Structure 1
Amino acid sequence: MESVPPDGVAEPATRAQSTTAIKKGLRDLGLGLSLLNRKVGARLALKDVDLDCLDLISAYGPLGPNALARRAGVHPATVTGIVDRLENAGWVVREPDPADRRGTLVRALRDRTGELLEHFGGMTASVEEICASYPPEELAVLADFLRRTAEAGHLAAAELTRP
C-alpha cells in the first residue's frame, strides 16, 4: 500500500517500488532529452552526433580530435566529418595545439553560445523552477545521485566498447 503525504501525491511504499520508479524516471528523462536535442539539432541544421560533439567541445574543450572521439564514443575518422560540419556552420574552429605543434584542437565559438542556449531556454527555466522547490540538502542528494548515475552510464558504455 502506498503512503499519501500531506500534499496528496502518493509515494511508493517500498525500496523496490522507489527504485523501479527512479529507473522509469531516468528512462523517460533520457527519451525526453533525446527528443529535445533532436528538435534543437533540426532547428540548427545539426545532426544529433554533431550537437553531442558541440556540447562536449563546449563543456570540456578545446579538445583534440582523438579526445573528442573518445568522449563521444565515435571512431576518430568520423570526428573529422563532424568537425568539418561544425566548422563550416560556424560553431567551432580548429587551432594549433600548443603542446603538440603537429596536432590541432577544436574550440567552440563562444559568440554562438547564446544562439544555442536560446533553444534550451524552456528546459533551463523549468529545471530552475523545479530546483527552487527543493531545500538545499535535498538538491545536494539529487546532484550526487545524478553525478553517480551519469558515471555509471559512462562505465556501462565503456564496457560495451570492450571486445
Structure 2
Amino acid sequence: MRVMPEPANPAHYWYGDDPAVADVLEAVRAFRRADAAMRRRTAARMSMNETDMRALQVLIGREAEGLVTSPHHVTRELGISTASTTKLLDRLTDSGHLVRESHPTDRRAVVLRPTPHAHDEVRERLARMHRRMAEVVLAVPEASRADLVTFLRSMAAVVDDEEGTDPLRPANGPQTTR
C-alpha cells in the first residue's frame, strides 16, 4: 500500500499532491456530503429522524428481496440497542409506516412489514431524484460503467473496513481548567 506524502498544496491535505487522486476523492466526498444532507432533508420532510428513515430503507429493501424482517434484523443492521429498536418500531407503527405481524411458522416471533403508506411516502419523496440519478448513470459511457461500479464497491469496502480512529490527544499533555 502506497503511503501518501505530506502535500505541498494545502488544498490536497488528505490526498497528497496527486491531482488525479485529489480530484476523484474530493468528488466522492462531495457526493457523500450531498447524500447525507439529502437523507437529513428527506427524514425531516417525513417528520422522522435519520435512524427511522434508515430502518424504513432496511424494511423496504428486505421486502423487495423477498426476505422476512424481524426486530433483530433492524437492530443488527442499524447497530442500535434492542431498547432503541423497540422505541423506533413503536414510532414507525404509530406513524403508520410499519406493521408488526405474527411470524407464519414461529408464534413467538414478530415479522415487520412496511405499509403501503410507507412505500407511497418514500416513492413520493425520492422518485424524482432516482430518475435524475439514472439519467446521470446513462450519461456515463457504457464501456466505463463496469469500472465505475468496481471503483464504488471498492471505495465502499474501504469505508466499511475502517474500524474508526483513536481519540484525539491534547497537544501538550492533559489539559486542566481553572
Q: TM-score, length-normalised on structure 1?
A: 0.77
- Counterpart in the other structure of 1:9: none
| C-alpha RMSD of matched pairs (Å) | 2.1
- Percent identity for Structure 1 against Structure 2: 24
Give the equivalent residue in structure 2 for 1:7.
Answer: none
Instruction: Flag as ranges the 4+ runs of structure 1 deviating above 3 A.
Output: none
Whether 1:153 aligns to 2:159 is yes
Which structure is richer in relative contact order (CA contacts within 8 A, separation 6 or more)? 1
Q: Tell me the distance in 2 between the aligned counterparts of 1:75 and 1:21.
A: 39
SS in 1 for 2:44: helix
Q: Secondary structure at the match of 1:63?
A: coil
Alignment equivalent of 1:49, drawn from 48, 51, 54: 51
Unaligned segments of structure 1, at least 5 residues: 1-14
Q: Within 2, Cα distance between the matches of 1:96 and 1:47?
A: 27
Q: TM-score, normalised by structure 2?
A: 0.71
> Computing the radius of gyration over CA atoms, which structure comes out larger, 1 or 2?
2
Question: Gapped runs of 5+ residues in structure 2?
Answer: 1-16, 165-178
Other structure's SS at 1:101 match:
coil
- Name the aligned partner's letter for residue 150 of structure 1: A
Structure 1 or 2: more helix by fraction? 1
1-side partners of 2:116 and 2:157: how far apart? 27
Structure 2 match to 1:40: 42
Does the C-alpha gap of structure 1 residues 149 and 95 become closer, same or farther in structure 2, counting only changes over 3 Å? farther
Question: Are 1:138 and 2:140 matched, yes or no?
Answer: no
Number of aligned residues: 144
The verdict on how the C-alpha distance between 1:68 and 1:151 changes in structure 2, with shifts beyond 3 A counting, is farther
Match of 1:42, SS? helix
